[in-house]
Amino acid sequence: MLLALFAAAILWAIREGRHLELPRASLLLWLAILTFLPSYGIQYLVWPLAVGSLYPSAALGLYTLAGAIFHSSWSLELEWPVRVSSLGTWLSGAAWLAIEAGRSRRERLMPRPAVTAGGESLPTA
């Protein structure tokens, strides 16, 4: 069941990312992988950060903060006043995926106007 959900999420991300530029499509795919992967490891936090740094946003900041808190409690064994788990990074990754999916859908529904070599926009029909 989990593998079928994971495969469906990957196929959705590939299909949704077809009309996006390659780095943004890659970000969408990595967020789908992170959100729907049946297991979770701290090493999975790196790829969305690397690709997401090309598109700074509040979602990237939230994900980075949640990942840093999780990583510091896990690897550095820092004491926090509350129990830190991977749930925070998973939730922030899922929220970031939802934001990117919405942005992707808006870009698909509202295509950019064509631009000439001189930088002028061509009239749309």
User: DSSP string spanning 73-107?
Assistant: HHHS----SS---THHHHHHHHHHHHHHHHHHHHH
- What band does 2 get if pLDDT is binned at 50, 70 and 90? confident
Q: Count helices and strands (H / E) in the chain.
A: 5, 0
The pLDDT of residue 97 is above 90: yes
Q: Name the region of 77 (left: φ>0; alpha: ψ -120 to 50; beta: rest).
A: left
What would the pLDDT profile of 11-46 be if each residue is shown by its tens digit?
A: 999 999 998 999 999 999 999 999 998 877 777 788
The average pLDDT across 71-78 equals 70
Q: Does residue 103 have a pLDDT over 80?
A: yes
Q: pLDDT at position 96, please?
A: 94
Residue 101, CA distances (Å) to 2, 15, 106 in order: 21, 11, 9
Per-residue pLDDT, 100: 93
- Residue 115's φ and ψ, nearest 5 degrees, are -120, 135
How much is the mean pLDDT over the chain? 83
Mean pLDDT across 75-100: 81
* 115 bridge partner residues: 121
The whole-number pLDDT of residue 107 equals 81
Grade residue 74 by pLDDT with cuts at 50, 70 and 90.
low
Contacts of 9 by beta carbon, 8 Å cutoff, 6+ apart: 32, 33, 35, 36
pLDDT score of 22: 93
